[in-house]
Chains A and B, each alone.
Chain A
């Protein structure tokens, strides 16, 4: 399919063969129209199909007519617009980066825009809609630039998704923190970081429409050049297409489109990822859709169908008054997650074996110094964590407490503080160890319990139990977390093990499961306990608040077992992490060893989640840092990683407890804030490698 630059641009579009394309487009249009019609008849007012019909034919009473005109139609229009622009933005991004996973979510355009809007709302400036969309545009574009810059254009799929999702996590954590630092809402409303398409009147839609049109027209004008990019950069250059400028313009336009969606409805997840993916198989069948000019509008239609479909399904399944409280973004995230998992298992994985970190062999002396230094730092951090908080203590207090001679207040302060410090330390250590094990077994430097959905599954299990049985013990929560983690890991590793843990597939399936789990947790809390923001915070972003010593016992037990096993099986870990063949040559049974390590990692993550909620990043960052410091031998990596993990979460918890005391920020939020920059730095470094 050679696209020549000599074809006149004024050629009528009918000239290309479009057999089959027209009926498909018509069918899709029909679906969107059907969904839109159903959407108009749903809502909290007693305005069903007959009233809508009367309103549209001008025979309804004014109240019903106003509902249709000022609430139903705008919502439907917003759904159409948001879905369409996100679908098109996703299609454009995927085309220019030649990457099936590029989308407003994975490039963290949405998160960047939302962060900018959050920043504006916190400062108390009330901006007109257009000004705030300008702000959102800057935020989204900046985030996309960072992600694309880090992962390189047209390179590894996984890198892009990881850089994007990491930045998304970090930005979301910061936005979340801002909202907590400057509470605008005193009635316990939790911000789900999810958008909703409900509207009051047509104002918003009408103001965003021009922005969307500008983006669309711009992309259609660029369509030929975007098509040329599909041939590869060199070929495109040969055709006289300015590759860099085209890419840049397309990304800016896509960011503009996503910004319109975020400003109008908040972040609505996954539409930009799924819509183009749904169009892709069609493009293979019908020639009309192979070109950007055909596929872009089609992706837009598909996006509109997805958003409206999610909205319709939600309102069909739950009573209308409850549906009001559920953000549309939660539903699209669920749909999208499912979709990502299916897509990941069906695509051929082209990734080569994961890049192994090229590291110098470090001497024994380096290992010993590193460990010694880390131990000193850990001791220092623990002491700081014990002394600092709301009530500042001095060392003598701790000594008195240790001997049981402390005064009443000091004793209470330490009685509540010590379990929190312990929970943070042990959770960090356990997550770091779990990350080390998973990375060794999958030989994927970017695999970790959080990204693979294991932590998400654990949190979902725990929330299910806590919601159904109000009074449960620490072991109960740990058990439920383990059940959830086990279920999600069976799903992730089962689907990814089809051909020996192909790298991309594993991470993509995991990412889908993680997203789905967090959407389900949000949904569960919204439906059962809507005013409990604290519950949501704990299970979605980790916190050591209210932990007691018994809560930490399961974690301590599992961690002790884990460390012993990892130490005893260190050589096996080394071999497993090398490659497929070496262990076989040595007569090792790979399957069983791998399974054992994975099971241990799942157990570790589950108990960590039960003790301190979902804390991301640690499992990823600690093993990396450890390998960079002391080389690849697990005999050295394990202790160093465990120490680093403990220090990281302990510091995060300490900061969270003191920075806005007496109010608190969750440890998980702080870990994301601290971990994101480091992770992005790691990505930059491995790119050079």
Chain B
């Protein structure tokens, strides 16, 4: 033990001598230019001041990243890039941003090294982490989700990000497109005599042979879009106050009756698609009225269920396509 300690000591001293006392960055010099300043109030009530439209932006959550790409600003840093590429192909990354770690614990150091003009965070990040990020660069914290008004929350976030990046015109255009898409979808469903159809959307996952199902209640973004399309939400379970997601299992599906059932899985994540996998042999599943009638629709991969107008547009297209087949 003592010998071990000694060698460590010697090794560290050696390592320290070898670590030349250089610097990786020159000492600070104060040279700041001021252009048109932008002042915003974010979701926490914090005043965010920017020297101009933000160009180098980092996003800690996928929904804000999606907003950014849609607004034509390519993020310099994104958390869990691989995951984004897997789950959100509706609005794909156009550049190769730096991976800044997980969505729950973005690495401060990587973010700082990117020297962003603006960091987009959501209320899902621990307050302590947001406080630290604010020291690196101005942080625009948006409310992650709000089951009281999911679509309103999405567009407000989009507007806020647009203001910060000087892309308000693009945001207006995106919102118009989204409204148009909703109308188009509603009309297509009404023409197919599906107005007011009972509809349930869920995702599911398998952990050690056990299937958990997450109902998307009317408080979820997807749920709100469904209602705009004139579909009737069939879930009776209560969702959480932010995302409007509930929890249930296979037998809980017996409560929703005869509906149109849709889900999104992902081929890149083996545990994310129980409906066509594990459940194919499950008697409860196979005896559900909507399964018997073949009213189960797997919507195309890559629509991020908590994303922005881009994902939702694609979602509307896929629902309409699936139900009017």
Contacts and interface: CB of A to CB of B under 8 A. Distances in A.
B24 A410 contact: yes
Contacts of A17: none
A628 B269 CA distance: 49
Interface in A59-102: 62-67, 69-72
A373 B255 contact: no
B25 A410 contact: yes
Which of A70, A129, A200 has the most B CB atoms < 10 Å from its CB?
Answer: A200
B156 interface: no
A185 B129 CA distance: 23
Interface in A402-427: 405-413, 415-417
A662 B281 CA distance: 41
A394 B24 contact: yes
Given A200-B209, A394-B20, A412-B112, A530 B247 contact: yes
A43 B108 contact: no
Contacts of B282: 70, 200-201
A583 B93 CA distance: 72
Contact of A470 (B101, B127, B249): B127
A667 B43 CA distance: 32
A211 interface: no
A625 interface: yes
Interface string A312-326: 000000001110110
A381 B9 CA distance: 10
A23 interface: no
B104 interface: yes
Enumerate the 10 nearest inter-chain pairs by beta-carbon distance, A residue then B residue, closest first.
A380-B12, A44-B252, A70-B283, A662-B101, A412-B112, A396-B23, A534-B104, A662-B107, A66-B287, A390-B109
A669 to B, nearest CB: 13
B250 interface: yes
B88 to A, nearest CB: 10
A377 interface: yes
Interface stretch (A186-194, A442-450, A509-517): A186-194
A413 B205 contact: no
9 contacts: A183-B83, A183-B102, A321-B248, A324-B252, A380-B13, A391-B113, A409-B25, A662-B107, A664-B102
Contacts of A411: 28
Interface in A576-603: none
Given A187-B203, A663-B105, A392 B250 contact: no
A664 B210 contact: no
Contact of A413 (B101, B113, B211, B212): B113
Contacts of A64: 254
B2 interface: yes
Interface string B232-261: 000001101001011111111111000000
A3 interface: no
A66 B279 CA distance: 13
Contacts of A397: 23-25
B23 A381 contact: no
Which of B1, B19, B83, B210 has the most A CB atoms < 10 Å from its CB?
Answer: B210
Contacts of A663: 80, 101-102, 105, 107
A390 B113 contact: yes
A72 B250 CA distance: 11
Contacts of A530: 240, 247
Contact of B83 (A65, A186, A198, A532): A186
B16 A380 contact: yes
Contacts of B124: 532
A471 interface: yes
B95 interface: no
B288 interface: yes
Contact of B135 (A320, A377, A415, A533): A415
Contacts of A373: 2, 5-6, 9
A411 to B, nearest CB: 7
A383 interface: yes
B27 A406 contact: yes
A464 interface: no
B21 interface: yes
Contacts, number: 261
A69 B251 CA distance: 11
B278 interface: yes
A664 B281 CA distance: 39
Contacts of B203: 187
Given A324-B252, A416-B108, A126 B5 contact: no
Interface stretch (A247-255, A350-358, A540-548): A540-548
A227 to B, nearest CB: 37
A416 B270 contact: no
Interface of B: 1-2, 5-6, 8-9, 11-13, 15-16, 19-28, 80, 83, 86-87, 99-110, 112-113, 115, 124, 126-129, 131-132, 135-136, 203, 205, 207-212, 237-238, 240, 243, 245-255, 269-272, 278-279, 281-289
Contact of B16 (A63, A383, A392): A383
Nearest to B113: A391
A310 B115 CA distance: 53
B205 A185 contact: yes
Contact of A200 (B1, B248, B278): B278
A200 B211 contact: yes
B311 to A, nearest CB: 15
A203 B207 CA distance: 16
A198 B19 contact: no
Interface string A350-384: 00000000000000001001100110110111011
Contacts of A662: 99-101, 106-107, 109-110
Nearest to B19: A395
Contacts of B80: 186, 663
A106 to B, nearest CB: 22
A45 interface: yes
Given A63-B254, A185-B271, A625-B1, A417 B27 contact: no
B254 to A, nearest CB: 4
A548 B131 contact: yes
A200 B253 CA distance: 13
B252 A390 contact: no
Given A63-B289, A69-B283, A70-B282, A45 B255 contact: yes
A376 B131 contact: no
A201 B286 CA distance: 11
A70 B279 CA distance: 11
Contacts of A369: 2
Nearest to B238: A321
Given A324-B252, A409-B115, A545-B126, 9 more contacts: A45-B284, A67-B251, A191-B207, A196-B210, A199-B209, A376-B13, A412-B112, A416-B132, A530-B240
A684 interface: no
A535 to B, nearest CB: 8
B91 to A, nearest CB: 16
A545 B126 CA distance: 10
Contacts of B237: 321
